[in-house]
Structure 1
């Protein structure tokens, strides 16, 4: 069920008795710009920790406890050309509680909490609380730095910087960068906050045993205004380069991280999208895949090897953990697996197994309220909705020739290796 609440504000409702909880998600969607990413990430941190009514994290945690252990969080996400600030809240459906003495049902209390977080933040003297701001800026700095302690994450981020040289918004993490973070003031964040409330597209989604009337009644008290939206595409389209960009860094790692980036110019709205999903699953996206069986198992050249496909940026990534002295051999054998698929060398058995694993993963997702909520935003941004039956029919229809056609569009664009130093050099 899809509703327009205001210009630029929509509500999606999935009424179901399947879950014992009611899940709520509110997405604030803005164009992805390098200058705004860090400020929006910091704003999310500040909003998540305090409101006027619950001025500390402890007070907020106590309120969640009073709501029979409700969960609440704010995160930031990059989707193609969009940056998303996402609020989520999950409350128990009180009909499943043995004792429930409150006058107000938990769904309405959860919506009231989200309203307080968004529209009644802690703003003494019209500014964000200085102590809260400073603490959250430090926390975000620590979070960004700790991500780089994950060497696989670091290798992938460096790969993105190589792939999207001169496109900082695409190269940057959704959390932003430490340099910008150090320069941000509480006044900057207040400006970002007002801009978000006034201009972002807002997508509210609810899954659980609630009626449209209840959800709309709860939203009526939110001071939401009409907003002017440009219906620009969420897809980031880019020209491939003639040369492969290569980079490497030395770090104290025993296991080198070798990551490869390819252009795969097939997007979520393309006719070949399903074939691209199947291609990725057969290439490296599942434990059945060519990368897993031939690079990791048969050749024993990698501790792990997998691929991932992003239909919002038209990219395919390969992640592997190797001994650095094997780098050239690993790049060659990964290239051989792609070349085999480009020649149409994909057995009907593997194709069938990969399709079955994709279907199982999709069906498992139907048991997750969060997965259901997240898929609603993708549908909203892409204007694509598809019943499960249609999706299954498209999956079943993908042939070896379809996968081959997709494979032939894949072009290596960048390689990056994070390794232990000279003793591991090629």
Structure 2
């Protein structure tokens, strides 16, 4: 069920008795701007830490404990041309609690807590608390730097920077830039906060045993005004480069990380979207795939080899862990797998197995409250809603020829290898 609360403010409700919990998600969605990404990431950190009523992390944790172990968090996400600040809250449905004796049901209390976080932050003297702000800025800086300890994450980020050279909104992490972070003041982030409340599209979603009257009543006193939302496309469309960008760096790694990025100009709203999903699954997106079977298992050239497809940016990426001296051989065998699919050399048996794995993954997602909530934002942004039966019908109809047609649109655009040098890779 979908409701308009105000202009630019919506509520999606998935009423179900399937779960013993109630999940709530609130997304604040803004156009992706390189100048705002870092401030929004820091804002999320600060809002997650304290409110006027719960001025410390300990006080906030105590309230979550009082709500029978409710979980709460705020994260930031890049989705095509959009930047999202996401609040999530999960609460036990009190009808499953033997000792529940509160006057107010837990769903309403959870919504009240989210209201407190959003609209009553800790603002002594009209600005964020200096000590909390400084601490959270340092925490975010540490978090960004610690991500680079994950060498596959680091290699993928460097690959994105290569692929989107001169396009900072796509090259930058959803957490922002450390250089910008160091220069942000509490006043800067307060301005970002007010801008978010006034101008972002707001998508609230609830899954659980909640009816529409309760859901709408719980939002009735949220002070959200109408906002003007331009229905800009969530898809980041970009032109094919005239040559492949290549990069590499040395790092203290035994296992080199070789990542490749391709242009795949098929987006979520394209007729060939389902064929692109099947192509990715057959190419490298599942343990059944050609990359896993031929690069890792048969040739023993990689510790792992997989691919991922992003239908919001029209990109396909390949991630591998290899011995550095095998880089050219690995690149060659990856190219061979792609060429085979482009020529239609994909067995009907593999196609059937890949389709079955995709269906199983879709069915598994229906058993996850959080994954069901996450899918609702995609539906909001793309205006595309596919019931399971319709989705499965499209999946069943995909042929080897469809997969080959998609593969023929895949063009290598960037390669990046993070290695330990000759000595470190042996």
Using structure 2 for the length normalisation, give the TM-score: 0.99
Question: SS where residue 243 of structure 1 aligns?
Answer: coil
Conserved 8 A contact 2:234-2:382:
yes
Equivalent residue runs for 1:279-358 within 5 Å: 279-358=279-358
Equivalence for 1:264: 264
**Counterpart-to-counterpart distance in 2, 1:59 and 1:263:** 48
Q: How many residues align?
A: 426
Asked if residue 182 in structure 1 is aligned to residue 193 in structure 2, the reply is: no
Deviations 1:121-145 (A, max 9, x none): 0000100000110000000000000
Quote how far apart the aligned CAs of 1:423 are: 3.4
Show the 5 A alignment for 1:222-301: 222-301=222-301
How do 1:144-155 and structure 2 match up within 5 A? 144-155=144-155
Taking structure 1 as the reference length, the TM-score comes to: 0.99
Q: Distance in 1 between matches of 2:242 and 2:287?
A: 32
Q: Distance in 2 between matches of 1:380 and 1:308?
A: 23
Kept in 2: contact 1:280–1:307 (CA 8 A): yes
Note the alpha carbon deviations across 1:258-291, whole angstroms, 9 max, x for none: 0000000000000000000000000000000000
Q: Distance in 1 between matches of 2:101 and 2:244?
A: 65
**How big is the shift at 1:217?**
0.6
Could you tell me whether the CA contact under 8 Å between 1:291 and 1:306 is conserved in 2? yes
Once the two structures are TM-superposed, the CA of residue 242 in structure 1 deviates from its matched residue by 1.4
Moved over 4 A (4+): none
CA-based RMSD of the aligned residues comes to: 0.9
The reply to whether residue 220 of structure 1 matches residue 209 of structure 2 is no
Query: What SS does structure 2 have at the residue aligned with 1:227?
Result: coil
Give 1:425 shift. Answer: 8.4
Secondary structure at the counterpart of residue 344 of structure 1: coil
Separation in structure 2 between the aligned mates of residue 218 and residue 206 of structure 1, nearest angstrom: 11
Partners in 1 of 2:168 and 2:423 — Cα distance? 33
Q: Secondary structure at the match of 1:312?
A: coil
2:355 is paired with a residue whose SS is: helix
Residues 325, 424 of structure 1: 8 Å contact kept: no
Measured in 2, the distance between the counterparts of 1:173 and 1:62 equals 32
CA contact under 8 A between 1:323 and 1:424: conserved in structure 2? no
Distance of 1:350 and 1:149 partners within structure 2? 36
Q: Deviations over 1:342-400 (max 9, x none)?
A: 00000000000000000000000000000000000000000000100000000000000
In 2, the alpha carbon distance for the partners of 1:168 and 1:422 equals 32
Does residue 53 of structure 2 align to residue 53 of structure 1? yes
Corresponding residue of 2:201:
201
